[in-house]
Amino acid sequence: MLKKRLIPKFLLRDGKLVKYTRFVDDERMAGNPVTTAKVYNDYGVDELIVLDIVPSEAPRAGVVGIIERMSEEIFVPFTVGGGVQSLESVNALLRAGADKVSVNSHAVRQPAFVSEAARQFGDQCITVSIDYKQVSPTSRRVFIDGGREATALDPIEWAQRCQDMHCGEILMTSIDHDGTMRGYDLDAIHALSARLDVPLIVSGGCGSLQHAIDALEAGASAVAISSMFLFTDNSPIKLRSHLASRGLDVRVSTSSRN
């Protein structure tokens, strides 16, 4: 049967791998994205997600170059996003070697873009990335432009609309949990996975092996992880064997390094 996926998530700023807490605080440098991607490929991760966090109209040449070099080094699928606003940008990233392109703020501003992109490039190519915050004990709201601008959208309703517009999967990131390493937003994962037919990748808060198990058992198809892999000794190898030992259906890596 289909395996649960382990996906390191990279944030790029000016071509460097970086990491924050709650999107803005506590910037840390985390190295060279191409060499780090190669190491993760050797670890046998299932996919990679790469997000360029400085928005711009079109993917900058530097980012395209990094994607091209990554695609020479890694033989697992990878999703690329950050500031994507046009079909031309989607095409440029796919031609550079990306397998899927993620769309975030532009999808909110111009929802028809999701269906246009899905129609042109195939449903499976278009991931909608949704960043959200808990704004009161009972409500969550979608934020765009890297968490700077609030919207009136409920993330679960928005995800369902994106699915109706033929996105291939949803990447859901809790801004409140991002970088905190205190666990995923399990309530939101439960609520969304029950209402979604497309795969759900969850992001924000993974700090222990148990956190990943919790998210997958709550209904996520895949866990996106950055801080834990970058800053602790919990590697993808360790996580994979832990998940397998707990009976979760993950891929058996064939890498000789495992």
Instruction: State the residues that interact with another protein by CB under 8 A.
Output: 1-5, 41, 44, 46, 68, 71-72, 75-77, 94-99, 119-125, 168-169, 196-200, 219, 221-222, 251-255
CA 170/CA 73 separation, integer angstroms:
26
Q: What is the CA radius of gyration of the chain?
A: 17
CB of 231 to another protein, least distance (A): 25
Number of neighbours of residue 200 by Cβ within 10 angstroms: 23
CB of 123 to another protein, least distance (A): 6
CB of 124 to another protein, least distance (A): 5
Of residues 23 and 40, the one with the C-beta less far from another protein? 40
CB of 255 to another protein, least distance (A): 6
Of residues 85 and 253, the one with the C-beta less far from another protein? 253
Of residues 19 and 100, the one with the C-beta less far from another protein? 100
CB of 153 to another protein, least distance (A): 22
Of residues 14 and 72, the one with the C-beta less far from another protein? 72
Of residues 105 and 221, the one with the C-beta less far from another protein? 221
